[in-house]
Amino acid sequence: MNDFPKDFLFGTATASYQIEGAVHEDGRCDSIWDTFSHTPGRVVDGDTGDIACDSYHRWRDDIKLLADLGVNSYRFSIAMPRVMPVENGPVNERGLDFYERVTDALLAEGIQPVVTLYHWDLPQYLGDKGGWLNRETAYRLGEYAGVVAARLGDRIHTYTTLNEPWCSSYLSYGATEHAPGLGLGPGAFPAVHHLNLAHGLMTQAVRAEVGERSECSVTCNLQLNRGDADAVHRLDLIANRVWLDPMLRGYYPDELFAITRGICDWSFIQDGDLEQIHQPIDVFGINYYNTGLLAMSDRPQFPQSTEASTAPGASDVDWLPTPGPHTEMGWNIDPDGLHDLLVRVHNDYPEIPLIVTENGMAVADTLETNPDGTKAVHDDLRIDYLRRHFEAAKRAMDEGVDLRGYFVWSLMDNFEWAFGYTKRFGIVYVDYETLERTPKDSYHWYRRLISDRRIPDAA
C-alpha cells in the first residue's frame, strides 16, 4: 500500500538569492538583499549571496541531483533583478533565458517546475522608493509576473506569487532581521497590505497569460501557536488571517482592525483593493517548521527584539520558551503542529487544496570521508525530523485534508538569510570552499520515500 497518491507532488525547494550567486552577471541589478548582506552587522560573519551555491553556473548539476532523487517537481524562485534590472527599462532577455533553460531542463527530466515569483530579492531601485511601504511596488510586481508568465507560459506547473509575506513585511519592516530591516513595529502594516495587493495583481497577470493551464498559488508561513487562548487568537489574526481572509475570502477580519486600533488606522487600503486581492487560486502553500507558545502580557513590547516585535498588534502577547528538542535554529520540533495546522486551514477554508511548500531542519552536519575516499553526511536527526513530519501530513490526509504535495527545504545547504552560511538545511551538503555537492543520508532516505510513495520505517 502506498501512503501517497500517484499524482502527489514530491519535491525540494530553493530560492534564487539563497543559491544562485553570480550577482553581477548577465545584467542582474542589486536587490535589497545584496544591499542588506553587504551592510556590516546585518548577516552573521558578513556572509553574502555573492557566490552562494553558484547555482547560476551549476544548475545542470543541481538538476541532475533532482533527477537522481526522483522528485516529480522542484520549487525554485525567479529573481526579479535578473528579469527587470532597470527601472522602467526593457525586460532583460538574458535573465529570462536562464530561467527558461532551467525550466526546459527540468521538464526534460520529467520534473514539474513550481515557481515562486517573489522570494524576497526585491530590486534595489524599488527598495529606494520605499520598497513594500510603497504601494507602487505592488504594481511593479504585477507587471513582472506578467513578463515571466508570457515567456514561460504553461511550462510552469504552478506559479506562486509570494513566499512568506509575513517575513517580507513584519520581519523586514516591523523588525530588523530581514532586508531592509527598518524596525518600524506597527509601521509594517502598509507592507502587509501592499503584499496582499501584489499577490492579487500578480495572480491576475499570470492568469492573463496562461489562463487555467498553470496553477496559481501563494505560500505563507502560517503559525500554529499553543498556550493562552486569547494570545493564540490574536496572533492568528495578525499572522494568519491577515493573509488568508483577504486572499481567499476578500476581506480583512473586523477583529484585526479592532486589536490594532491605536497602532494602525489601515487608511492605506483603497477602494477596490480587496476585489483585486481576492482572486481565485488553485492551491495554497504552507511553509512549516515549528510552533510557538504564547501568553498574554501586560508589558508594552514595542520595540523589542523577540519574535513579538515582528507581530505588531500582538503587543500584549509574550512568546514563551518552547519545550525541546530544538533544531540548530533554536526552533522546537513539533510534528503534531504540522498536522494541526493543515487540519485547521482545511476546516476553515475547505475549498482550497493545500501543499507543504517547505519543511525541513537545520542540523550541524559534518562531512565525513569514507575509507574509499567517497564522502558522506550521516544526518539521522534530519531523517527523523522529516519522517515524523511526513507522517503528520499523512495523518492529516487520512483525516480528509486535500494535500497535493510536499517540498523539502532544501535541496542543498544555502545562504540562510541573516544566518548566512552557518545553518545547513540541505539534503545535499555544499562545501562552500569547493562548492562540491554531497548527497546526505536524508537525500537517500527521501529517494526511497518517493520511489515507494511510502514513508520508510524508523531505523
Pick out residues in 166-195 that bind ligand GCO (CB under 6 A).
Answer: 167
What are the residues facing 296 on neighbouring strands? 317
Binding residue count for ligand GCO, defined by CB under 6 A: 11
If binding is defined by CB under 6 A, does position 221 make contact with ligand GCO? yes
- The answer to whether 128 touches 85, Cβ cutoff 8 Å, is no
DSSP annotation string for 126-184: HHTTTGGGSTHHHHHHHHHHHHHHHHHGGGSSEEEEEE-HHIIIIIIIISSSSTT----
Print burial letters for 265-280: b (CB count within 10 Å at least 16), e (below 16).
Answer: eeebbeeebbebbbbe
Q: How far is the CB of 398 from ligand GCO (least distance, A)?
A: 26
If binding is defined by CB under 6 A, does position 121 make contact with ligand GCO? no
Q: Which of 20, 164, 209, 307 is an active site residue?
A: 164
Which residue of 409, 429, 443, 445 would you call a contact of ligand GCO, by CB under 6 A? 409
If binding is defined by CB under 6 A, does position 215 make contact with ligand GCO? no
Q: Is 409 annotated as a binding residue?
A: yes
Instruction: Tell me whether residue 259 or residue 354 sits nearer to ligand GCO (CB atom).
Output: 354
If binding is defined by CB under 6 A, does position 413 make contact with ligand GCO? no
The one-letter code for the residue type at 284 is: F
Q: Is 120 annotated as a binding residue?
A: no
Q: How far is the CB of 148 from ligand GCO (least distance, A)?
A: 19
If binding is defined by CB under 6 A, does position 416 make contact with ligand GCO? yes
| Helix (H) or strand (E) run with residue 320 in it | strand 317-320
Reading the block at residue 246, the C-alpha cell is 483577504
Instruction: Tell me whether residue 289 or residue 390 sits nearer to ligand GCO (CB atom).
Output: 289
Which residues touch 348 (CB under 8 Å, ≥6 apart)? 244
Instruction: Tell me whether residue 209 or residue 358 sits nearer to ligand GCO (CB atom).
Output: 358
Q: Is 119 annotated as a binding residue?
A: yes
- The answer to whether 228 touches 295, Cβ cutoff 8 Å, is yes
Q: Which of 209, 215, 307, 358 is an active site residue?
A: 358
The Cα 246–Cα 251 span in angstroms is: 4
If binding is defined by CB under 6 A, does position 16 make contact with ligand GCO? no
Instruction: Tell me whether residue 163 or residue 240 sits nearer to ligand GCO (CB atom).
Output: 163
- The helix-helix angle for 441-452 and 55-69 (nearest 10°) equals 50
If binding is defined by CB under 6 A, does position 327 make contact with ligand GCO? no
If binding is defined by CB under 6 A, does position 163 make contact with ligand GCO? yes
Q: Is 196 annotated as a binding residue?
A: no
Q: Is 18 annotated as a binding residue?
A: yes
Query: Residue 351 — φ and ψ, nearest 5°?
Result: -75, -20
In 3D space, the residue among 118, 107, 137, 123 whose CA is nearest the CA of residue 35 turns out to be 123
If binding is defined by CB under 6 A, does position 20 make contact with ligand GCO? no
Q: How far is the CB of 409 from ligand GCO (least distance, A)?
A: 5
The Cα 38–Cα 415 span in angstroms is: 13
| 87 flagged as catalytic | no
| 358 flagged as catalytic | yes
- The helix-helix angle for 189-210 and 136-152 (nearest 10°) equals 30
If binding is defined by CB under 6 A, does position 203 make contact with ligand GCO? no
Stretch that binds ligand GCO, among 2-10, 100-108, 144-152, 160-168 (CB under 6 A): 160-168
In 3D space, the residue among 80, 159, 162, 165 whose CA is nearest the CA of residue 123 turns out to be 80
Which residue of 164, 215, 379, 413 would you call a contact of ligand GCO, by CB under 6 A? 164
The Cα 434–Cα 325 span in angstroms is: 33
Q: How far is the CB of 351 from ligand GCO (least distance, A)?
A: 25
Stretch that binds ligand GCO, among 43-51, 159-167, 248-256, 387-395 (CB under 6 A): 159-167
Stretch that binds ligand GCO, among 162-170, 189-197, 292-300, 437-445 (CB under 6 A): 162-170
Annotated binding site for substrate: 18, 119, 163, 289, 409, 416-417
Residues that bind ligand GCO (CB under 6 A): 15, 18, 163-164, 167, 221, 287, 358, 409, 416, 425
Annotated binding site: 18, 119, 163, 289, 409, 416-417
Question: Which active-site residues does the annotation give?
Answer: 164, 358
